[in-house]
Structure 1
Amino acid sequence: MKPLFYMAAAVMIAVALALLLLPLLRHGRQAGRPRSLFVLMLCIALVVPIGAALLYWRIGTPVALNGVPTQTQTITDVNKALDELRAHLAAQPNDVQGWLLLAQADMDMQQPDQARDAYEQVLKLKPDNTTAMVGWAQADSTASPDHHISDRGRALLERAVQLEPDNQRGLWLLGISDFQQGRFAEAASTWRTLQPMLQAGSTVAQAVAQQIAMADARAGAPVASSSMAAPPSSGPALQVNVSVAPALKAKLAAGDTLFVYARAKNGPPMPLAVTRLDARQLPATVTLTDAMSMLPSMKLSSVPRVVIGARISHSGNAMPQAGDLEGDGGTVDVDSRTPVKVVIDKVHD
C-alpha cells in the first residue's frame, strides 16, 4: 500500500502544480511565446514530483536495492527538461516566468544555489516581483550552512510584505528572521499577522501557533534571576553552568548579552537550542530544552549528541562578532542529566 500511497501523493502534487501553471501558460500564449515552452513547463510540473516519488520508492526502500533501478529514465527525463528550459532562457533571457519555473525546479531538486541565481535573474528584470523576493530569501537561507536569513534576504522579505501584506510565505520567513536575531516579540507579532490567513486547525496553523508560543515565552523570559529552571518536559533538558574566567571579567560591560546554546555535533552551526540572558547575571545556570529551538525541525531531540557553548555579545547580536567572549562546554549526549560546565575564557577573533 505504501508505494501506491506515495505515487498517489505524487500525482496529486503534479496535478496541483499543473493547475498553478495553467494561468501562466494562458498568459504566455497571449504574449505569443512558443508552444514548446508551454509543453516543457507542464513536463517539469509532472515529471519532478512523480520522479521524486519513484526515487523514494526505489532508493528510500532498502529492499528495492535488489530490483532494477527503473528511476534512471525518470532522472534522464527531468535533467533533459531542465536542460531544455535553460537553453530556452539562454536564448530568451527576459522570460520572467521561465526563470521562476527554473528557480522552483532547482529548489525541488535541492539545488538552492542555482535557485537563488534564477531568482536573481527575475529580480533584475522585475525588481518588485514578490515571488522572486521571497524565493531568493528562502533559497539563500537554505544554501547557508546555518540557514540564517541574510541582511539582503531580510530586506527583500520586508519589501515583499510591504507590497503584498498577505504574502504568507514572506510573513513566515520574516518571523523566522526576527527569531534568529533574538527579536522574539517582533517574531510573535509577525506570525500573529499570518495566523488569520491560515486554515484553522491545519498542520501549518498548529506549527505557527507553537512558534508564537515559543517566541512569547522567550520574549517574556525573566532576567532578574541568576538561574533558569527547566520547564516540565519529557524531552532533553541539558543543565549548563556558565561562568567567566577571572582574566576576562574586566572586559564585561553594561548591556552585554549572554547566549547559551547547543548545536549538532555533526551538522550546521545553527543552534538547536539557545537562550539569552543579561551578562550581569553571571555566573548563571540555564537548562536547554526543545522549547528553545529556533526552527520546529531543528531541536535537541533530533540529534543524539550536541556541542555546548556560551558567548557574551557586546552588541547583543545573535551572530558572533570580533571581540565577543566565548566558552566551550564540549560534546555531550542530549539525554545527559549531568550538569555541563562552561567557562568563558576566549575572545572571538
Structure 2
Amino acid sequence: MNELYIGAFLLTLLALASVLWPMRRRALVDSAATEAREEENVQLYREHHRELERSLAEGGIDQEQYQRLELELKRNLLADQAAIGQRRYQNKGRPLLLVTAALLVVGALWWYLERGSAADVELTRLQQQVAMDNFAAMQAGQQPDIEPTRALIQAIEARLKSRPDNTRYWYMLGRYASQVGDYQRAETGFRKVYEQSPNDPGAASELAQAIFLGNGNRINDEVSFLVDRALEGDSQDTTALGLAGIRAFEARNFRDAERYWLRAVESTPEGAPGRQALMAGVARARSEQGADGAPAPVSDSASWQIPLTVSLAEGLEAPAGATLFVFARQYNAGPMPLAVYRGPVPQFPESIILDETMAMTTKDRLMQEGQIELVARISSSGQAMPQPGDLQGSLGPLDMGALPEQITVKISERL
C-alpha cells in the first residue's frame, strides 16, 4: 500500500511540475516584457513632448495646435498604460490559477485515497497474495502459513470501520476468520451478513456453521433455527443439510440423518472437500439404524443386489474394535464409492449384501450397467478414508450385467 501512495505522489508531483514550470517561466518572461514595454512608452512620450515644445518655440505650430497634439499624446500614453496594466493584472492572476490547479490535483488525490477504492484495490491484492501462497504451500505438500490470512483479516476490519454497511466485507471477514479457526470473528462477520441480508443464499447456514464450530461442534437452539431457515430458502443448501444431519444423528434419528446427508452428497461435486466425510456419515447412520434394531438395509424392492463374501487372509488379524467397510465403486473411475456397508469386524468369512439402499446417491437404478470394483477394508481408526496400517482387499473389474454367482473379496494386504 505504501508503494501505491509513493507512486501516486511522485506521479502527481511530475504532473504538477510539467504544468506549473512552463506557466511560471512564461509568467516571468511576460513580467519582464511588460516592464520593458512600460519603460519604452514613457521614454517615447517624453521624446514626443520635447519635440512638440521645440516646434512651438520655433513657430512650427501655434498654441492651439500644441495643446491639441499634447492632449492626443497623453491619451496615447494612457491607452498604452491601460493595456500594460491589464496584462499585469492577468499575470498576477496566474499564481492564483497555479495554486488552484495544485490544490485541485492534491485534493483529488486526497479524496480518492480517503473516499475512493484504493483500500479495495489493496484488499484485492492481499486476497490474491493469500490465495497464491496457500496454493504454493499445498503444491509443496506443506501447511499454509496463516499469518498472511490474519493480516488480511486485520485489513478487512480496518476497512469496515469506514464501510460498516458493506455486506461483502462482513462476508469476507467471516470466510477468512473461519479458515484460521477464529470462529468468534467468523460469527461476527456472518451475523452481520445475516442481519443485513437474511434472505441471501447461504446467509443463515454460514452463520449456523460458525456458531456450531465456535460452540465446540454442538447444536444449540439458534443453530437449529438457522438450519431450518436456510432449508426453507434452499432445500439443497449443503451446509444446512450437513448440520441438519448432525442434529438428527444427535437425536438418534438415524434415518433422517441419512436422508439429510445423502441430499448433501448429491449436491457436492466429486473431489470437493467434505464429500468423503458426508459419505462416511451416511454409512455411520445406516450402521446405527441396524444397531438400533431397524430393518436390515437389504430391500426386496432394490433394483440391484450384490451378494458377496469377505474373508481374511491367513497371518492377518483384525485389531480389536476395528470397523469393516465394504464398498463398490466404478472400475478405474476414481475412489468415490457408489455403495457402502459399514459395521463392526465380524468372524470371517462374513456374508454381506450390497444393494441400492446403501448407495451414496439417490439416483434410480444407479449400478445396472458398467464395470465395478469391490473393496473390503478393516479400519482400526473407524474412518472411511484409508489410513496406514489398515487391512484391505479388492476384486475387479466385475460386469454388473454378468456377476458371478460366488463373489469373494479377500483382505490380504496391509496399507
TM-score bracket relative to the smaller structure: 0.3 to 0.5
**Structure with bigger RCO (C-alpha 8 Å, 6+ apart):** 1
- TM-score w.r.t. the length of structure 2 is 0.40
- TM-score w.r.t. the length of structure 1 is 0.46
